[in-house]
Structure 1
């Protein structure tokens, strides 16, 4: 893992503060939608976008995937790397923002973004980075909390208009993509951890045809 962060320093600082405030922010278990959607897929190269403390990355590696895990928070990455060492699995850690990471294009069989906090930009950089990372024949799996896109802005804290939602990624799809899943479903929520109060997911699973 490298300490050379690539991205917006303010975003890194914000997420470092969030992680530093708690000994463990998330549940430590893989996201239910990921487990359900990956079942039956042949393991290959996977990009875990916004890997947090590494539960999804470790689970994927244990199940035979070649994992690249990207995260803006160095605090979270240190925890994730420790969990991977404890589990005896290898993960390639990338300390960067998604749009700034300069990932090899069209090189991942699966791009997984579970409840990502991706900032919206006029050029749709994050949305395009998600799609650009998927190899021909590969899958983008984007999961988010249902209903958040339409929420009112919170005072000085959270404005949905600042972030990327599955509908924005879906709007960029052309005939090179096949939509396999685009639905709202009850969330299989791990016990404990931030976000446990959300009850429904929006799941977008699309495959690059060429």
Structure 2
């Protein structure tokens, strides 16, 4: 059995679990205690790691297709679990982004509280609402940029995966060709060995015939000259 697909699957899954572990720590572990810009930076990093994890899941889908049916079931189950984990953390990341946006909006309201009676003052409700709108628009813009970057990365990753797939097929074809050549070489070697053995047998036979004639000549000469 060719273990190439299963070995690659195990390797990619190990990378996926390492990334998911880091995401879990940022969203549910030590990262939950972070606040302000530090928390925002962690969430942005989680977005990039989720994109990377998504690419790895795509690679796992490709590798599982090359696994023989006799051992495919457990690998398909592991792929399903990986997809489930990725979906869960994507949802959690989106929720935390929304919470952070709401916290920024509420914070701007709190910091902008004013005792002024002027409805169009610098710290009026109108100004705070406009500031909140700008924050939401900025968040939407960042999400759109992240989505665009994710799509570009996904397309680039798909091209790389297709290229790797083609290279692997070429390597497998080359290996099959070498195996066929080895088979022909083994057959040719067997034929040559048979020819060498046949040559040795003929050589021994000719030597025996030569010795026989020499002895015969000696016997004839003996009887002719001596008697």
**Common fold, TM-score beyond 0.5?**
no
In terms of fraction of residues, the more strand-rich structure is 1
Ranked by relative contact order (alpha carbons within 8 Å, sequence separation 6 or more), the top structure is 1
TM-score w.r.t. length of structure 1 = 0.22
Pair member with larger Rg: 2
TM-score w.r.t. length of structure 2 = 0.21
